[in-house]
Structure 1
Amino acid sequence: MLTLQSRDVALGCQATSWQDALDQAAAALHEGGLVEPGYRDALHAREAQGSTFLGSAIAIPHGTPAHREQIQRTGVRLLQFPAGVEWHDGNRVHLLVAIAASSDEHLDVLRQLTHVLDDEDVAERVATAESAEAMIALLSKPKVKARLDADTLCLRFPARDRFELALAAAARLRQADCVDSAFVAAITTQEPVELGHGLWLVSAAAGVRQPALSLATPERAFTGPRGAVNGVFCVAAQGEAHFELLTRLATLLDDERVETLADAGADDILARLSGESSHAETARVTLLNAHGLHARPAKLLVQAAREQSVAILVRLQEGAAETVSAASLTKVIGLGARRGQTLIFTAEGEGATPALAAMVAAVESGLGESVRPFDEGSGVARGQTLARQSRVTESAPPLDDDSALTATAASPGLAIAPVFVMRAPSFDYPERARDLPSARQGDAARQRERLIEARDEARVQLNTLIGRAKGGDVAEILSMHAEMLDDPELHEAAFEGMREGWSAEAAWWNAIDTAARAQEVLADRLLAERAADLRDVGRRVLGVLCGAKMPTPPAGPYILVTDDIGPSDVARLDTEQVRGLLTARGGATSHSAILARALGIPAVVGAGERVLALANDDQIILDGDLGRIIVRPSRERRDRAELRLKELEQLRREAYGLRFEEGRTGDGQRIEVAANLGNTAHAADAVENGAEGVGLLRTEFLFMAHPDVPDLQTQVAEYSRAFEALDGRPLVARTLDVGGDKPLPYWPVPAEDNPFLGLRGIRLALTRPEVLETQLRALLIAAGARPLRIMFPMVKDIDEYRQARAIVDRLQAEIGAGDVQVGVMIEIPSAALLAPSLAAEVDFFSIGTNDLTQYTLAIDRGHAELSSQADGLHPAVLRLIQMTVEAAHAHGRWVGICGELGSDPAAIPVLVGLGVDELSVSVRQVPMVKAHLRGITQETAKRHATTALSQPTSQAVRDALEAL
């Protein structure tokens, strides 16, 4: 996100005309290295299209899309004109915010400006600001905004009294990062206040990070000792910022439908809290503008609203329940609406219907911009189904009531909820293009065009998911999916089918299915790490071609049951509703399992096709620690599970409250707990969750996000974000780890039968040492005197390490960086076996247990049938870890674990017993890993390690550990 700095501000400017002011703005952008000299014409061309005056004496001149090639890098410059400039639309301007942006990065700055426009004195203040710092402070300090959205609602919670509901509402605010544990503790001591209509209220000001309103409703309305209970509101109070929430609450109490609140869904509740009248008419429309409601389309929307005969209100369906006047430019821009979000317009009285229709039409027309719809399909075609769908084995015996089924533990945690069995949509289409509906017919060229359009739309969808992805692992894998869309072999195979008369649908899926089957059978990874990812991408494009929609999950909490699940499906999950994940296929190290852990969702995978025979709303208990499910449990078993769930929740609360304590065993042994990151943007989140550093930064995300090798300046800026967020904590950066399994479009790798054993990691980087040198230089510059740990991936012996280390030593002598260590990632068995020779020269080891496991056991962790056997607790893997630790400690080196094994509750005492010094895990797992450490001693850890090493199989290891 762009931030304003002192060098961006020019005070005391003078201009003879608005044209002169624009010229000065262009010169300032050019002098700052942001644009070419010809960008001046772009500013004048944009002003000719319409005034960029924003309000309150502020104008925001920027170029047109046609001039974006003149932008060298994104940035802004602020020019103050104390005497004012008469703008061409009759307004007087005291501040120009000149923008150079090749994408939508500048929108964050513009959204920051909207808060000042409500200040009546802002025009005078921007004109009289006497320092750059004062100007930045004026524009950058937003008004504290109270939060109320779908993420602060806790609906249909299984509570038996209003106190449980109050605690659930407070916990939801903590999960939404609005409050901390001090707030929750304060709520537990309160007696809810009766509001009437079965509604109750609790509030506190302790531990409030952002004022917010939560509502918890019961599964069914009930009557307690003091009356009816339809729901409990929880207010996080802060100064006067929460007063608006109380006003909304008062409005709700006057709603004639208030007594039905317990049965209402999130959309209905937000509509009521937004103040929408029960007599008002509403209309919904999806915003299609590429950069959302920025200034120009917002202005046209406001003009449309002002032309109507009735007052128009608008709010975002996906955002806060905040309704604003559609006739207010500052309010509309302040919504921050983005492409793909839904605008809800409201109007009352005579003329409301045509007025709403006019607003919808204005949005659909693009508000002065060229827009593209999300779905090019015209419905589901008839004919033959070629896409392979999930099938339930007819002969599979049904699952009995209160029966236990054991599978693979994939993500820790316990869940109790009804199931929602999600089956892939039916992609029905004819094989031949001539049999398509008339709108889709045509020759091979037409079919090719349809496929390219669908691919482009799929890319837009993926980029949207990447933008709102929670957790670096999610964004990283979805970025890989976006790269798959451009695979030339896939497209050529599809085009060949079209030349033979096939429909775009049939040709595309045949290409996907052929490649995926080759991966499943031969372990060919030219396109991605596993066939499931490839099919996930294929289904996305096919869904666009067919106009198919995924089934809609229930509004309340549920456990998702499916054959297998792709990373983009995981990214779309509503983590507030999905209590657990159960799949028929997959293994503990599949991408879906990794992402479930990153999102904190309990998961059991590889349970077999029998689970697909479950009926929607069947209750199950899912144990992600033991890899077990209980189908339609008895009341007694459910009560025990609910008690355990409450204990686990209490443990999580306590773990989160102690997250900033050092990682130590119960008897004081120091074990550092760090975070694995797939993106520097999540470094601050890692610190907030108690991470003592970053144990693995996957730097390839930066290379995957650019069409060419990112330059030195780009990399320095990106890595600096992480160092600044870590505030002196160490960062372990893995150098670029790509290859045939994770290809880059600008770095082609020859086809390999098995790229997992081919040119990747440090092997590939050393073929282009200039790329590796630029990355290392960027890391050293960004680090400065802060602790940097450079780690080389895919090292097999000392020779590769020495080649890469020589570059680091040369650069370090040149740059003079301070606290730097250089190590290797132990993921190839030869590196573990040669650990004594490596330990003599490296500074540290970090063991990547995911790859080490699959290489040691010769099991692809994405294999459809074998992946569940790729268990890092296999004694062969543990012996390699033991050898590595012993060799490192003999030379005074430290050893970390950066694979998924580090957050496995069963593995933690074993790893501590083997002597590891650091555990690096997903961000959300940090507090619980520290809690697990506090629950063991060195003595018990060594006993666990000895027991595990004496077992013959991984299952025997887990059974023996459970018996201890």
Structure 2
Amino acid sequence: MLRKGIAAAPGIVIGRAVVKKEETIQYERRTVETTSAELDRFRDSVKAADRDLESIKEKARREMGEEEARIFEAHQLFLQDPEFVGAIEAKIESERINAEAALEEVRDSFVAIFESMDNEYMRERAADLRDVSQRLLKKLLGILDRLEADFSEPVILVVHDLTPSDTAQLDKEKVKGFVTNIGGRTSHSAIMARTMEIPAVVGMSDITEQLQTGDLIIVDGLEGEVHVRPDQAVIQAYEAKQQAYLQQKEEWARLVQEATVTADGHRVELAANIGNPHDAVQALKNGAEGIGLFRTEFLYMGRDQFPSEEEQFEAYKAVAETMGKDRPVIIRTLDIGGDKELSYLSLPKELNPFLGCRAIRLCLDRVDLFKTQLRALLRASAYGNVKIMYPMIATLSELRKANSILAEAKAELLSQNIPFHNELEVGIMIEVPAAAMIADQLAKEADFFSIGTNDLIQYAMAADRMNEQVSYLYDPYHPAILRLIHQVIKAAHQEGKWVGMCGEMAGEELAIPILLGLGLDEFSMSATSILRARHLLKKLDYASLKEVAQHVLSLESGEEIKAYIKETVLDTL
């Protein structure tokens, strides 16, 4: 039996399933005689849960990196949140009920509030709160919290869902792959599975009901498929496919030190998207020729106050020194708002935060925060090939205002005899359709463009990328999106400026031939996608793809475009 899901982490694994059905924890809601004793029991559980999370966070930091570790810092913040913990304690005292009941009632009310918000960040907070609450509940009831505690041999884990803490605790020697009923490619668990290189397929609806522990299954994390109780012919076919994939990975690994040059000698740059200094080390290991996007907002999240200029300088300097003088490091200025919020930054509630005061708009409103970051960035430029990039630019006046504040920061550093690279490049992200439409004007004053397709697509198509009802509109291959990209690249090249792309689209196998043909100069993606992209680019012919890309712009739908590229380009390699 073949089942289709979502390819969450690449790889192929064949093995026996261990099915863990959705956990139902039972307890009785009861009245307590002494609320002080019940409060002590609850507070002891909070401390124990915090110790667990500290241990998980350190394991994630060692094995996956700082960005993944910050997920668990956010979980710990829930345990320190007086609104959440205080509400549970108040309920125990006022209603004289046991901690388990108070915890679940408060959790449900918080989750309902978070999930009612049309905001990706808040929906993620709901999932995090459930994870933390489940951990607390298990502590209160004395339940062991180790998914693979009883695994005596390597298995494929089949579960309803994996929380971030579940995933971080997986032992790669015991769990060779996993399959879930729910989840998506951008969930925390999927991201961590890719980092850990554990093949995974998610979003399979009722797979836990279709399988039994001991069933032989094949997990194809490349295609998003699971074969249940396959016959010998299917097993042999997948053993061959598995071996071919491993050989392909070895072939990719040999490209780490090579430049990215097409079959006909055209040079492009492959860079990495990162969120912290540790990621830069991984980027180099994966053959990155630079950093195409350093998301600086992660320096601001998971804490209770703004990072100082010195803290920021050290982080930016670390990345610049890691990459060296020859590899560019593009650092995006603060992109807070929309789906990313700071608990210590009091922003007014907005009906649609994705269209509100976020990114460069927030920075131009809070010049003090912006200038602190710009000073840190300028100082770091003395230690490597640093470039500054402004997000969410929509007008020429925004670019000019940002540059005037940058000029003030430069003047301050000069007066203090603090070294920096005065001629560093300053570019902008093209993620607002208005910016794409005036790209010819912006290109006269920006040093480079980087196309942020994640937001550009949802803004151009008026479709929330997290809304399943309109997901059919969120299509990077829609002719309108490709025409916008073409217009941006053409406008920049007319002014002698280069264009990169740092959205997810830059690393997609079907998109790379189109983007190359349209003239994209730099492709920035997750580090684990770089070698695969380089392997593909070295087989492509730039000259012929220019004609292919022009034909693509005349097609009528994303499906037609994808089929055309697959048939005329990928299937011929």
Q: TM-score, normalised by structure 2?
A: 0.85
Quote the Cα distance in structure 2 between the aligned partners of 1:783 and 1:934. 32
Quote the Cα distance in structure 1 between the aligned partners of 2:276 and 2:84. 28
Whether 1:614 aligns to 2:211 is yes
Q: Identify the match of residue 667 of structure 1 among 264, 268, 280.
A: 264
Q: In structure 2, the residue corresponding to 1:648 is in which secondary structure?
A: helix
Quote the Cα distance in structure 2 between the aligned partners of 1:643 and 1:459. 40
Q: Identify the match of residue 58 of structure 2 among 464, 478, 489.
A: 464
Q: Identify the match of residue 592 of structure 1 among 189, 201, 215.
A: 189
For the 8 Å contact 2:374–2:406, the answer to whether it is kept is yes
Give the helix-richer structure, 1 or 2. 2
Aligned to 2:308: 711
Whether 1:562 aligns to 2:159 is yes
The range that moved more, 596-605 or 819-828, is 596-605
Aligned pairs, how many?
558
Amino acid at match of 2:493: H
Whether 1:731 aligns to 2:329 is yes
Quote the Cα distance in structure 1 between the aligned partners of 2:559 and 2:55. 40
Q: In structure 2, the residue corresponding to 1:681 is in which secondary structure?
A: helix
Amino acid at match of 2:181: A
Aligned to 2:133: 538
Q: Identify the match of residue 897 of structure 1 among 497, 501, 505.
A: 501
Amino acid at match of 2:504: E
Offset, 1:722: 1.3
Offset, 1:526: 6.4
Q: Identify the match of residue 772 of structure 1 among 342, 363, 370.
A: 370
Aligned to 1:523: 118
Quote the Cα distance in structure 1 between the aligned partners of 2:153 and 2:499. 44
Quote the Cα distance in structure 1 between the aligned partners of 2:480 and 2:85. 42
Whether 1:500 aligns to 2:95 is yes
For the 8 Å contact 2:321–2:384, the answer to whether it is kept is no
Offset, 1:793: 2.3
Q: Higher relative contact order at CA 8 Å, sep ≥6: structure 1 or structure 2?
A: 2
Q: Identify the match of residue 415 of structure 1 among 4, 10, 13.
A: 13
For the 8 Å contact 1:676–1:920, the answer to whether it is kept is yes
Amino acid at match of 2:221: G
Quote the Cα distance in structure 2 between the aligned partners of 1:511 and 1:950. 55
Offset, 1:733: 0.9
For the 8 Å contact 1:469–1:475, the answer to whether it is kept is no
Where do 1:92-491 residues align within 5 Å?
A: 403-434=1-32, 442=36, 446=40, 449=43, 452-453=46-47, 456-457=50-51, 459-487=53-81, 489-491=83-85
Quote the Cα distance in structure 2 between the aligned partners of 1:786 and 1:609. 51
Q: 1:830 to 1:646 in 2, by over 3 A?
A: same
Aligned to 2:226: 629
Offset, 1:411: 3.5
Quote the Cα distance in structure 2 between the aligned partners of 1:471 and 1:680. 9
Looking at CA atoms only, which structure, 1 or 2, has the larger radius of gyration? Answer: 1
Amino acid at match of 2:542: Q
Quote the Cα distance in structure 1 between the aligned partners of 2:246 and 2:172. 16
Q: 1:571 to 1:841 in 2, by over 3 A?
A: farther
Quote the Cα distance in structure 2 between the aligned partners of 1:419 and 1:955. 35
Quote the Cα distance in structure 1 between the aligned partners of 2:334 and 2:483. 28
Quote the Cα distance in structure 2 between the aligned partners of 1:951 and 1:538. 50
Offset, 1:680: 0.5
Amino acid at match of 2:252: A
Q: Identify the match of residue 787 of structure 1 among 352, 362, 385.
A: 385
Quote the Cα distance in structure 2 between the aligned partners of 1:605 and 1:832. 35
Q: Percent same amino acid among aligned pairs?
A: 39
Q: Identify the match of residue 812 of structure 1 among 390, 410, 422.
A: 410
Offset, 1:705: 5.6
Quote the Cα distance in structure 1 between the aligned partners of 2:340 and 2:330. 21
For the 8 Å contact 1:458–1:541, the answer to whether it is kept is no
Quote the Cα distance in structure 1 between the aligned partners of 2:421 and 2:550. 42
For the 8 Å contact 2:4–2:225, the answer to whether it is kept is yes
Aligned to 1:755: 353
Offset, 1:754: 4.2
Aligned to 1:19: none
Amino acid at match of 2:429: M
Where do 1:635-650 residues align within 5 Å?
A: 635-650=232-247
Offset, 1:653: 0.6
Deviations 1:648-706, CA, capped at 9 Å, x for gaps: 21111111122110112222222211112221023223223211111111222323365
For the 8 Å contact 2:324–2:385, the answer to whether it is kept is no
Q: Identify the match of residue 147 of structure 2 among 543, 551, 572.
A: 551
For the 8 Å contact 2:282–2:527, the answer to whether it is kept is yes
Quote the Cα distance in structure 1 between the aligned partners of 2:138 and 2:464. 29
Quote the Cα distance in structure 1 between the aligned partners of 2:292 and 2:283. 11
Aligned to 1:924: 528
Unaligned runs of 5+ in 1: 1-402
Quote the Cα distance in structure 2 between the aligned partners of 1:798 and 1:623. 47
Quote the Cα distance in structure 2 between the aligned partners of 1:849 and 1:487. 35
Q: 1:451 to 1:785 in 2, by over 3 A?
A: closer
Q: 1:452 to 1:584 in 2, by over 3 A?
A: closer
Q: In structure 2, the residue corresponding to 1:410 is in which secondary structure?
A: strand
Q: In structure 1, the residue corresponding to 2:179 is in which secondary structure?
A: strand
For the 8 Å contact 2:21–2:208, the answer to whether it is kept is no
Quote the Cα distance in structure 2 between the aligned partners of 1:942 and 1:732. 27
Q: TM-score, normalised by structure 1?
A: 0.53
Quote the Cα distance in structure 2 between the aligned partners of 1:686 and 1:832. 29
For the 8 Å contact 1:447–1:503, the answer to whether it is kept is no
Aligned to 1:827: 431
Offset, 1:482: 3.9
For the 8 Å contact 2:21–2:159, the answer to whether it is kept is yes
Amino acid at match of 2:237: R
Offset, 1:952: 5.8
Unaligned runs of 5+ in 2: 569-573
Q: In structure 2, the residue corresponding to 1:750 is in which secondary structure?
A: coil
Whether 1:840 aligns to 2:437 is no
Aligned to 1:935: 539
Quote the Cα distance in structure 2 between the aligned partners of 1:475 and 1:691. 23
Offset, 1:716: 2.0
For the 8 Å contact 1:859–1:870, the answer to whether it is kept is yes
For the 8 Å contact 2:428–2:446, the answer to whether it is kept is yes
Q: 1:628 to 1:942 in 2, by over 3 A?
A: farther
Quote the Cα distance in structure 2 between the aligned partners of 1:695 and 1:839. 18
For the 8 Å contact 2:41–2:140, the answer to whether it is kept is no
Amino acid at match of 1:750: P
Whether 1:801 aligns to 2:395 is no
Q: 1:666 to 1:510 in 2, by over 3 A?
A: farther
For the 8 Å contact 1:678–1:698, the answer to whether it is kept is yes
Aligned to 1:887: 491
Q: 1:555 to 1:747 in 2, by over 3 A?
A: farther
Offset, 1:753: 4.4
Deviations 1:473-532, CA, capped at 9 Å, x for gaps: 423444444445445554455455433344333333333334434444542456464643
Q: Identify the match of residue 680 of structure 1 among 277, 287, 296.
A: 277
Where do 1:51-90 residues align within 5 Å?
A: none
